Amino acid sequence: MEVLAYLIPISLFLGGVGLVAFIYTVRSNQYEDPEGDARRILSDEWDDHPKP
């Protein structure tokens, strides 16, 4: 059962990483236009080089 000493902190840490990643996506406006973003990926504009 000593393995729990590693596993529990690891699971808590991974959960924390998930939470921080989610907070980052909220802060950087990634949920402003879900439908538009889903459609934009189909457009071949800016496929060869990124939008300046």
Binding site for another protein (CB under 8 A): 1, 4, 8, 11-12, 15-16, 18-19, 22-23, 26, 31-36, 39-40, 42-46, 52
What DSSP element (H or E) covers 30? none
Tell me whether residue 6 or residue 26 sits nearer to another protein (CB atom).
Answer: 26
Q: Cβ of residue 51: shortest distance to another protein, in angstroms?
A: 9
Q: Cβ of residue 6: shortest distance to another protein, in angstroms?
A: 14
Q: In the Cβ-directed half-sphere of 21, how many Cα atoms lie within 13 Å?
A: 6
Among 19, 21, 28, 5, smallest CA distance to 37 is for: 28
